[in-house]
Structure formats: C-alpha cells, structure tokens
Amino acid sequence: MGSCHLKMAAANLPCRVLDVIFGYLDLPDLANCALVCKNWCQYLSDDYSDVWRLLCARKVAEEALKSDILCNVTSYKAKAMAFCHAWNPQDCSRNIYIKPNGFTLHRNPVAQSTDGVRGKIGFSSGRHAWEVWWDGPLGTVAVVGIATKHAPMQCHGYVALLGSDDQSWGWNLVDNHLLHNGDSQGNFPQCNNAPKYQVGERIRVILDMDDNTLSFERGYEFLGVAFRGLPSVKLYPAVSAVYGNTEVCMVYLGPPLDG
C-alpha cells in the first residue's frame, strides 16, 4: 500500500480507534498528531474528549483535580496543558521541592538563602498567560516574573534573586518594585498608593513574545506593561522566595483573552 493510501486510511480511522491510539501519547506527540490531517486536528480540538480526559487521569494528580488549584482551567485539555507547564522539580533551588499535586512549590526553612524555580516549558514566540499565587507568607522579598535558562535559582542571603541580573525580570510583591539587571526599574503598578499583595491573591502574568513585553493582572484588572524590549530568547515562568515553609502555586492558562 502506498504512502498516500496509508495517510487516507489513517485519516478515516473511527473515533474509538483514535481514542485507543491517542490514549498512549503525551502532549508533544498529540500536538504533532494534530498536524497529520484535518480529521485528526478536528478530533483533538475537542477539549473535553476522552483523549484529554485520559491524559488528565494519567498525568494530573487527583489532589489537584479535586482542589481549587485548577478552578480557572475547566477543560480536560487545559488541565493537562497546565500540568505540562507547571513548576519543574528538576530546575529549582535545592531548598525547594514540588508538592505531589504538581503545581505547588514548598520552600524549606533554610536560613540566609533565596530560592527560585522555573516552569517546565519556556516561550520564544506567541502570547502566554499563567497565574501565580503565594499560599504562605511573603517574607522580606517575594518576586514573580520570568527568567532565561541561565538565571541562577539560588543565592546566599535574602535578596531579590529574580531580577538580580540580565537573565531575569521580576516584580517584588513586597515593595511593588520592578527588578532587572540588579536595579529597580521603578514602582509597579504606576499609581498612587498601589495596594499591597494579599496572600492567596492570584496574579496573572502575561508574556507576549510577539511584542516582547511582560504584563500583569490582579483580580482581572490589567495593571499595565511592566517590561518592554524583552530579548527574543526562550523565557520561563519563574519566582523567587525567602520565607521558610512558604508555598507558591503556578497554573498555565494558555493564550491570554483580550479585553
């Protein structure tokens, strides 16, 4: 049978067969499958299909599915993608571990250390949004932002690690300062008497790699563009924390909704 006939046969496989085949694949493989033909693309575009439900069941911890961590990602596909973009347990300070739910970091109570973590997947194109929130005290420094692969994720003392060099950009939620290359880039948001961050409040981070900007939202209020002129390199979600036993969650949302 020629390659043309094989492609046609694959495109016409019944849904129950596709369910079985796709049920063995991970997210990158499913993304490639969506490029094979129109039928497969349409099938995988159903965010609530059994394919995504099974991937959720295999990858996402039951604890996360039953809690409110994923309350803003409703479909099976969105939940699976959020897990694939979550904190990277292999790319964090030695004083941090990722909890079994897969979305929450825990910083161990180590004195005189600032500790960070990156997400599993970085971005060099497109528009991306994710939520970050502290589930414990901030301490003297608590920074949310982005970093390249070259930015350090641990240092001595209690400092604003994220934004301490030219490889990271951050917003210190304690004093509302923007940080990059070791310097304060001004207050954020740019308004009088800006409210301080409250524990449990979800911050939405918006990275636009087409326009090379980083913005933030709080409580669905757009706070403005924090950084412009970002380099066209792969940038990762990141945070740095100093308070012992504090916890920080991150959930990838996908492309931001305009308006």
E strand or H helix that includes residue 9: helix 3-11
What are the DSSP E strand ranges found in 37-174?
Answer: 87-92, 96-98, 104-107, 113-119, 127-134, 142-147, 154-156, 168-172
pLDDT at residue 2 in the model: 47
pLDDT at residue 21 in the model: 78
pLDDT at residue 51 in the model: 85
pLDDT at residue 55 in the model: 86
pLDDT at residue 10 in the model: 66
pLDDT at residue 147 in the model: 98
Q: How many CA atoms lie within 13 A of 222 on its CB side?
A: 10
pLDDT at residue 18 in the model: 80
Instruction: Report the alpha-carbon distance of residue 159 to residue 225 in Å, rounded.
Output: 24
pLDDT at residue 242 in the model: 97
pLDDT at residue 157 in the model: 96
Q: pLDDT per position in the chain (259 positions), as tens?
A: 445 555 556 667 777 788 777 877 877 788 888 887 888 888 788 888 888 888 888 889 999 999 999 999 999 999 999 999 999 999 999 999 999 999 999 999 999 999 999 999 999 999 999 999 999 999 999 999 999 999 999 999 999 999 999 999 999 999 999 999 999 999 999 877 788 899 999 999 999 999 999 999 998 899 999 999 999 999 999 999 999 999 999 999 999 876 5
- What single-letter DSSP state applies at residue 236? E
Report CA-CA distances (Å) from 84 to 47, 87, 119, 122, 257.
15, 9, 9, 11, 20
pLDDT at residue 17 in the model: 81
What are the DSSP E strand ranges found in 29-180?
Answer: 87-92, 96-98, 104-107, 113-119, 127-134, 142-147, 154-156, 168-172, 177-180
Give me the torsion for CA of 213, 218, 222, 226, rounded to 10°: -30
